[in-house]
């Protein structure tokens, strides 16, 4: 299987201290990969490197077998979509206008959306249950609604690879599961690969094919959820005791922090 | 807003622009009739030697047209800069370009140029070009010029420019200083047809340049990283937009002095009513800014007739309170 995205020996630093050190992995078509790790581990930085927003100090990123740095931005945008950790929009674009922006790289520079672009955008909004927000200004919707609109914009790009930075932080229980159902469905029907930064290890256990555990800028473990989610590896990464046990409802694992009670 | 469909179509763009253009033409015709003295349109049209003809077509028309050109430039560049800085309350005079133009113009005035000669606009424009270069280069680090850096450098440059103007004013004679003050507050009178034609062609070219980047502006307004990953070559787009918008502002200040609030309020209002898509917002802000300034100048001519107010005073007195109102509303919404 040829890799869709390959990261090799990535190193990066904002200042003198390395933030990512010797990070390597590959993602194949249709794979759902979760990136987990404590605050400040370098997860968002990794997403920004893979999105081409930051350039690695050393190491290489290859998208569809070609170095990412050789692409024009428009060509990247047709293959790869990103949903950032926190995005707010101060201008009164409607939700549909924002989702249609996902089509920009598929249209000529000043082109108006064609019937197909509208259909793609509206289908994405339907999938994420934000179709009813179509004519609402994006600076007047709730945090979770905005997050789902931005996810719909990424889907409207029809990418081969989706990079998501904590896509479920603002979402309620039902939509947390719902988004992962949508992602799984996309992976099966279109072969879309997903790399998703997740703090909820139970969601990670349930929906990801593979997990990358980052701690202090290094890859601590890569593998299937049952290989990565062990009490020992998580304990080392998060520096706290955790309980890992079977999830009887889904057959995956449950992870719980063990808070030592005093007295 | 429920006034508009949820996205912009080519038809709505064409129809809205046509309506606004018609309103501007009506404004131009209407404002020509407004002034301290009454003039008969009939006599002006039939007798080219009449005083009415001179008043309407040689005094008022050039002034109204220049108002339209300047207002349009300020409106469109304001809309573009607001998206560029990802800040809907940014104003085209923030970036230091106007300060540079003002210093250039003031130097020419003090050196003895007449306020209505073409020397002053040229000197002011040279000042604007200088400011554009300095601000862009100072704000650039590591091949990038962030909105934050542009804004900060621009503000500092404006402070330096106003200090320079104060210094020049202290040295200058009383009557020169008065002339400088009047020029700075903005005036649309007394410019030649050649200058107006040149300014109009220039403004339309600037508008076209900005409009070519309308989709980039849409994406930039939703954030720099988002724009990059949606396919915008951010640094290139940003440079092109900054230069185009600055050239428009610089030219506007050069031919008319500091006219504030047009570039801030017009795009803001148009966005409220017509939405944020820059393919429509840019031409609409141009036409809206043009009509706004044409009427503001009509007021400047008549409010204290026979004395005349600097048009910049009118726009500031109208725009300032209105801006505070918008700001209060914004703050109230953010707090709720
Ligand atoms: N713009 C920046 N300049 C300097 N240091 C930064 C910058 N952004 C992040 N860092 C630092 O880099 C490290 C990694 O940050 P990053 O945002 O990638 O962490 P993360 O794993 O996404 O954390 P979180 O779970 O809190 O989102 C942190 O130590 C952080 O302080
Ligand atoms: Mg993060």
pLDDT tens across B19-62, in order?
999 999 999 999 999 888 888 888 888 888 888 888 888 889 99
What's the confidence (pLDDT) of residue A93?
93
Is A212 in contact with A197 (CB distance < 8 Å)? no
The boundaries of the domain holding residue B202 are 10-335
* Angstroms from B253 CA to nearest CA on chain A: 27
- Please state the rounded mean pLDDT for residues B99-115: 87
Superfamily of A5-257 according to CATH: P-loop containing nucleotide triphosphate hydrolases (3.40.50.300)
Q: With contacts defined as CB-CB under 8 Å, which chain A residues touch B232? A: 73, 104
Is the preceding omega at residue B185 within 30 degrees of 0, hence cis? no
3-state secondary structure B66-135: HHHHHHHHHHHHHHHHHHHCCCCCCCHHHHCHHHHHHHHHHHHHHCCCCCCCCHHHHHHHHHHHHHHHHH
Number of helices (H), then strands (E), belonging to chain B: the values are 15, 0
- Please state the rounded mean pLDDT for residues A137-158: 91
Between chains, do B231 and A78 touch, taking CB under 8 Å as contact?
A: yes
Question: Tens digit of pLDDT for each residue in B116-130?
Answer: 678 888 898 999 999
Is residue B5 in a domain? no
pLDDT band at B1 (very low <50, low <70, confident <90, very high): very low
For residues A87 and A94, give the distance between their C-alpha atoms in angstroms, rounded to a whole number: 15
Residue to mutate among B222, B267, B274, with most A CBs inside 10 A, is B222
A198 is written with which tokens?
A: 């997740």
- The closest alpha carbon to A140, from B3, B221, B219, B1, belongs to B1
For residues A31 and A53, give the distance between their C-alpha atoms in angstroms, rounded to a whole number: 23
For residues B176 and B119, give the distance between their C-alpha atoms in angstroms, rounded to a whole number: 16
- The closest alpha carbon to A6, from A68, A57, A56, belongs to A68
Res A181 pLDDT > 50: yes
Is residue B116 in a domain? yes
Question: Tens digit of pLDDT for each residue in B227-277?
Answer: 999 999 999 999 999 999 988 998 898 888 889 899 999 999 999 899 999
- For chain A, domain boundaries: 5-257
- What is the predicted ipTM? 0.88
| CATH code of residue B139 | 1.10.3470.10
What's the confidence (pLDDT) of residue A262?
59
- Residues with CB under 5 Å of ion ligand 2 are A 43-44, 85
Number of domains in chain B: 1
Q: With contacts defined as CB-CB under 8 Å, which chain B residues touch A119? A: none
User: Hey, is the C-beta of A81 within 8 angstroms of any chain B C-beta?
Assistant: yes
Is residue B80 in a domain? yes
Cα(A43) to ligand 1 centroid in Å equals 8
Cα(A45) to ligand 1 centroid in Å equals 6
Mutation test of ligand 1: which of A44, A85, A163, A214 has the most ligand atoms closer than 8 Å to its C-beta? A44
A24 is written with which tokens?
A: 């390597």
Q: ∠ CA A11-A15-A18 to the nearest 5 degrees?
A: 35
């Amino acid at each position: 299987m040829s890799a869709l995205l390959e990261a090799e020996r990535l190193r990066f630093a904002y200042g003198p201290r390395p933030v990512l050190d010797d990070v390597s992995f590959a993602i194949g078509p249709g794979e759902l990969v979760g990136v987990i790790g404590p605050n400040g581990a370098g997860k968002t930085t990794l997403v920004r490197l893979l999105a081409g927003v930051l350039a690695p100090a050393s190491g290489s990123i290859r998208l569809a077998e070609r170095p990412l740095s050789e692409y024009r931005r428009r060509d990247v945008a047709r293959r790869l979509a990103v949903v950032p950790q926190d995005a707010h929009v101060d201008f009164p674009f409607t939700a549909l206008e924002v989702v249609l922006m996902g089509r920009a790289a598929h249209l000529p520079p000043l082109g108006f959306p064609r019937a197909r672009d509208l259909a793609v955008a509206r289908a994405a909004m339907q999938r994420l249950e934000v179709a009813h927000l179509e004519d609402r200004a994006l600076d007047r919707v709730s945090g979770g609604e905005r997050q789902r609109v931005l996810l719909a914009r990424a889907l409207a790009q029809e990418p081969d690879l989706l990079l998501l930075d904590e896509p479920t932080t603002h979402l309620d229980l039902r939509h947390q599961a719902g988004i992962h159902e949508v992602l799984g469905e996309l992976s099966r029907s279109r072969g879309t690969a997903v790399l998703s930064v997740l703090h909820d290890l139970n969601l990670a256990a349930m929906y990801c094919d593979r997990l990358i555990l980052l701690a202090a800028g290094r890859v601590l473990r890569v593998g299937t959820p049952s290989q990565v989610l062990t009490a020992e590896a998580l304990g080392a990464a998060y520096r706290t005791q955790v309980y890992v046990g079977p999830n009887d409802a889904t057959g995956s694992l449950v992870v719980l922090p063990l808070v030592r009670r005093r007295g | 807003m429920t006034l508009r469909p949820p996205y912009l179509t080519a038809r709505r763009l064409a129809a809205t622009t046509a309506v606004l253009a018609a309103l501007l033409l009506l404004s131009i015709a209407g404002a020509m009739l407004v002034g301290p003295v009454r003039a008969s349109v009939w006599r002006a049209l039939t007798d080219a030697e009449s005083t009415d003809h001179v008043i309407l077509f040689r005094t008022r028309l050039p002034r109204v047209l220049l108002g339209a050109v300047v207002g349009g430039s300020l409106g469109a560049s304001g809309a573009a800069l607001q998206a560029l800085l990802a800040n809907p309350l940014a104003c085209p005079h923030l970036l230091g370009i106007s300060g540079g133009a003002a210093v250039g113009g003031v130097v020419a005035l003090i050196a003895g140029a007449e306020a209505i000669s073409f020397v002053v606009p040229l000197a002011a424009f040279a000042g604007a070009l200088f400011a554009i270069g300095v601000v862009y280069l100072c704000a650039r680090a590591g091949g990038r010029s962030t909105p934050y850096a542009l804004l900060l450098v621009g503000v500092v440059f404006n402070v330096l420019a106003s200090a320079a103007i104060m210094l020049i004013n202290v040295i200058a004679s009383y009557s020169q200083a008065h002339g400088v003050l009047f020029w700075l507050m903005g005036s649309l009178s007394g410019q030649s047809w050649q200058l107006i034609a040149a300014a109009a062609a220039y403004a339309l070219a600037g508008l076209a340049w900005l409009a070519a980047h309308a989709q980039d502006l849409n994406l930039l307004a939703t954030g720099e990283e988002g724009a990059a990953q949606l396919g915008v070559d951010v640094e290139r787009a940003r440079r092109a937009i900054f230069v185009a918008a600055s050239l428009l502002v610089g030219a506007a200040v050069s031919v008319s002095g500091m006219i504030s609030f047009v570039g801030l309020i017009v795009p803001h209002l148009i966005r409220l009513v017509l939405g944020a898509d820059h393919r429509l917002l840019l031409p609409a802000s141009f036409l809206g800014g043009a009509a706004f300034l044409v009427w503001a100048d009509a007021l400047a001519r008549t409010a204290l007739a026979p004395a005349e107010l600097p048009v910049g005073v009118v726009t500031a007195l109208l725009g300032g309170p209105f801006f505070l109102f918008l700001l209060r509303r914004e703050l109230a919404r953010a707090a709720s």
